[in-house]
Amino acid sequence: MNIRKVITFDVLIQFLIPTSVHGGELKAPCRLQIGIAHISTNLFENSRIRAVKVNASSICNVPQSNVTLTVEIWKTGVFGNHFVAKRKVKSLGTTLLNSRVDHFKTFRVCKNDTLTSYYGVAYSKAFIAGKWQYAREVLSTKIIPLECGT
Amino acid sequence: MKSEEVFLTPEQKREESDVLYECFRLMQVERSRYEKQAKILLATKFFLSKIGILDLAYSVRDDRFICDAHSNTISSQSFSIELQIPDTQEEQIETLIELFAQSEAGLIH
């Protein structure tokens, strides 16, 4: 997919029609946020366990329910990019105003120290204001080579 | 704070570490059980497991190994994990061992 080869420079993607005005500027009530693929440093400092992981959050200033947040890890390659892992989390409850739904369990254990470039892709859906709302794919802002073969 | 960790609260960082440690621990401690499960899954393309309140359904679809986890309780989360199927059988078993461990480690809250 071509979209997977394009890295957007936007970390934050607003995915609802703007509904509020702050200082003359329309603000969307929800956004999807994704981090850069990384080796969990906290884990590595305490042991030799290595895993590549990507974190993401759905942040809303209106209540959202039945949030499904999906995070994928991809690695770059000479003949195209390759899928590595995907984790989808569905929360059945309703969140409060200005709350986040976090997703930080998407990872792959490193098999070796081969330098590999990874990036994350996140997308979501949620029931907001009586309608299903879908967030388009958001990609990590940077691709950083990591000593982690998968 | 490093940019890649910007989302995590101290509590979430602890949970992140717990999940990864537990995953790695399970890959070692439960390796024998996971190898048996992997052979069943590769042969039948389907495998069911129940851990505590979670029902875990493993399957093979297209080029991916998949785990669908559903809770028996109303308020809990459900999740699914998909991993790319590697080429060799040896690699496939190793990938399934990680999938089993990831899915069971994901029960930590």
* Placement of tokens 């884990």 in the chain: A43
* Cα of B49 to nearest chain A Cα, Å: 18
The answer to the question of residue B58 being in a domain is: yes
**B74, closest residue in chain A (CA to CA):** A92
The answer to the question of residue B75 being in a domain is: yes
Whether residues B84 and A57 touch (CB distance < 8 A) is answered with no
The model carries a pTM of 0.84
More confident residue, A3 or B51: B51
**pLDDT reading at A10 higher than 70:** no
Residue range A97-148, pLDDT digits in tens: 777 888 888 999 999 999 999 999 999 998 888 899 888 899 999 998 999 9
**pLDDT reading at B76 higher than 70:** no
Whether residues A102 and B7 touch (CB distance < 8 A) is answered with yes
CATH code for the domain of A77:
2.60.40
Its domain, for residue B60, covers: 10-105
**B12, closest residue in chain A (CA to CA):** A104
* Count: domains in chain A: 1
The answer to the question of residue B1 being in a domain is: no
Q: Give the best-scoring range by mean pLDDT among A14-28, A48-62, A134-148.
A: A134-148
Q: Do A113 and A31 contact (CB within 8 A), yes or no?
A: no
- At residue B102, the pLDDT reads 93
The answer to the question of residue B5 being in a domain is: no
The answer to the question of residue B69 being in a domain is: yes
**A40, closest residue in chain B (CA to CA):** B17
Whether residues B5 and A102 touch (CB distance < 8 A) is answered with no
Of B22, B85, B20, B90, whose CA–CA distance to B58 is shortest? B85
The answer to the question of residue B18 being in a domain is: yes
* Count: domains in chain B: 1
Its domain, for residue A79, covers: 2-149
